[in-house]
Amino acid sequence: MKKRFGIDIDGTVTCPASIIPYINKDFKVNITLDDVKEYDLTHVVDRTEEEFADWFLKSEPMIYAESPLAKGAKEVLKKWETAHELFFISARGPHLLEITKEWFLKNALHFNHIDLLGTHNKIEAAKNYQVDIFFEDKHDNAVMLHEECHIPVILFDTPYNREPIPDGVIRVNTWSEASEWVDNWLKQQ
Ligand SMILES: [Mg+2]
Distance (Å, whole) CA 15 – CA 6: 18
Measured in Å, residue 139 CA sits from the centre of ligand 1 at 9
Q: Mean pLDDT for the chain?
A: 97
| CA separation, residue 145 to residues 8, 122, 126, 137, 180 (Å) | 12, 7, 8, 12, 21
- Angle 106-122-68 from CA coordinates, rounded to 5°: 25
Q: State pLDDT tens for residues 172-183.
A: 999 999 999 999
Measured in Å, residue 38 CA sits from the centre of ligand 1 at 12
Helix (H) or strand (E) holding 100: helix 97-106
Distance (Å, whole) CA 156 – CA 172: 5
Please state the rounded mean pLDDT for residues 54-62.
Answer: 97
User: Is this structure's pTM higher than 0.85?
Assistant: yes
Q: Are 124 and 149 in contact, with CB atoms under 8 Å apart?
A: no
Residues contacting residue 46 through CB under 8 Å, at least 6 positions apart:
27
Question: What confidence score (pLDDT) does residue 73 get?
Answer: 98
175, burial (CB in 10 Å: exposed 0-12, middle 13-18, buried 19+): buried
Q: State pLDDT tens for residues 35-57.
A: 999 999 998 998 999 999 999 99
Please state the rounded mean pLDDT for residues 163-179.
Answer: 98
Measured in Å, residue 110 CA sits from the centre of ligand 1 at 18
Question: What confidence score (pLDDT) does residue 43 get?
Answer: 87
Please state the rounded mean pLDDT for residues 75-87.
Answer: 97
Q: State pLDDT tens for residues 9-38.
A: 999 999 999 999 999 999 999 999 999 999
Question: What confidence score (pLDDT) does residue 183 get?
Answer: 98
Measured in Å, residue 48 CA sits from the centre of ligand 1 at 22
Measured in Å, residue 154 CA sits from the centre of ligand 1 at 12
Measured in Å, residue 136 CA sits from the centre of ligand 1 at 6
Q: For residues 112 and 46, which has the higher predicted lDDT (pLDDT)? A: 112
